[in-house]
Amino acid sequence: MQQLLQEPAFGRIWLIEMEQALAGYFVLCLGFSLEYHGHDAFVDEIYVREAYRGQGLGKRALQFLETQCRALGVQALHLEVERVNTHAQEVYRKHGFADHDRYLMTKWLSDKT
């Protein structure tokens, strides 16, 4: 997280506050992709504390991220969601995200997991 905070080219972190209390946070990581025609980004995390869920904060965070990405010249915004989290999938689809029927596969290249 320290690298992300120190280098804006890697991405951004925002806090969600409600009535001066920390309600959650979200993280955007920036990249580049030939397939997606230039700069792309991943919603690395959206977290809303349980007491604040169901109030539209995640939806507002996505809207905010989309605006920020456009300002940064991002061509495509990605996210991943657990297959069993059908509620989140529904929210993301309503917000314009589409399932590309692919698997996100990962190979860790360091011991920092």
- What are residue 97's phi and psi, to 5 degrees? -80, 145
Q: Report which residue type is found at 37.
A: H
Please state the rounded mean pLDDT for residues 55-63. 93
Q: Which amino acid is at 81?
A: V
Given this model, what pLDDT does residue 108 score?
Answer: 85
Q: Report yes or no on 104 lying in a domain.
A: no
- Cα–Cα distances (Å) from 24 to 8, 16, 35, 61, 110, in that order, read 20, 5, 32, 10, 29
- Domain range spanning residue 67? 2-94
Counting the structural domains of the chain, the total is 1
Q: Is residue 101 part of a domain?
A: no
Q: Give a yes or no: residue 109 inside a domain.
A: no
* CATH number assigned to the domain comprising residue 77: 3.40.630.30
At residue 110, the pLDDT reads 83
Q: pLDDT (tens digit, 9 = 90+) per residue, 16-53? A: 999 999 999 999 999 999 999 999 999 999 999 999 99
Q: How confident is the model at residue 55 (pLDDT cuts 50, 70, 90)?
A: very high
